[in-house]
Amino acid sequence: MPTTAFIGAGRMASAMARGLLRSGTAKPSQLACIGGAGTTSLQLSQELGIRLAGSPQALLEDAQTLVVACKPQVFAALDPAYGALAQGKLVVSVLAGTRLDRLRAFFPRARALVRVMPNTPGAIGQGISAWTSLSPLDEADRGRLARLLAGLGDSVEVPESQLDAVTAVSGSGPGFFFEFLAAYERGAIALGLEPELARRLVRTTFVGSLALADATGEPPARLRDQVTSPNGTTRAGLDVLQGAHLDDLVALALEAARDRARELSR
């Protein structure tokens, strides 16, 4: 019977379910999902062979872990039956901006409540998820949570007071990176490079630079200095970036994302 149940069948629920199956932690028969009026839950069920539940009761009858992965506006109108049926279960929420006290109000008898902020690279197992719990988890629930998040990539425990900052840095971070990547590729094409060559040069340079930083453990500033000669090409480009106050722009973008996360959670 299902041991992990998903409310919602979108990208994050799909990534978690696929991770559990890929790692061998769960079999398709041990997973169940339920969705709204759309077809995503049916598609996920058919693709992965997991059970598609037709009611809250059918979804949670034998589940040990409930993953709340619907949209926040859907959660606001969720059937109250879920709250009662989650009694004695581990409830894991990936709802952006939904704080633990609100989850506790809806799931008052849950065995444990966890709030998770994942990010989109989790879809290929290369993400990072920050999580916090209402109260300390016992060893069994920590293991269940670890297996659930392992399919998304790395994970780290943080206090809830830091989740708005985490939302800005790693939750919204892929969007900022992709914006810069797109601008860099457009700039390379503007220099006269063919689009496919520009794409290959830019992406390989980004991936290789990050791999070098990870392999050496050197601070980014030191690695930057190693490729920068006085009056050289890198120095010329850096002068433009620094003249545009790149540090300030990045800080402002992160602060704006953090502040919006705070607004959404009120």
Residue 177 sits in a domain of what CATH number? 1.10.3730.10
CA–CA distance, 184 with 195 (Å, rounded to integer):
12
Could you tell me if 113 and 15 lie in one domain? yes
Could you tell me if 96 and 202 lie in one domain? no
pLDDT means per 10 residues, the chain with 266 residues, are: 88 93 92 88 95 95 95 91 97 94 97 96 94 97 95 96 96 97 98 98 98 98 97 97 97 97 88
pLDDT for the residue numbered 1: 56
Nearest to 167 by CA among 99, 125, 118, 133: 118
Cα 144 to Cα 10, 15, 64, 85, 209, distances in angstroms: 21, 16, 9, 19, 35
Could you tell me if 66 and 132 lie in one domain? yes
Could you tell me if 11 and 106 lie in one domain? yes
pTM of the model: 0.91
pLDDT for the residue numbered 2: 65
Within-domain flag for 163: no
Could you tell me if 151 and 175 lie in one domain? no
pLDDT for the residue numbered 211: 98
- Total number of domains in the chain: 2
Could you tell me if 151 and 186 lie in one domain? no
pLDDT for the residue numbered 176: 98
Residues forming beta bridges with residue 93, ordered by sequence position: 68, 115
Nearest to 190 by CA among 182, 242, 234: 182
Q: Which residue range(s) make up the domain with 203?
A: 171-264
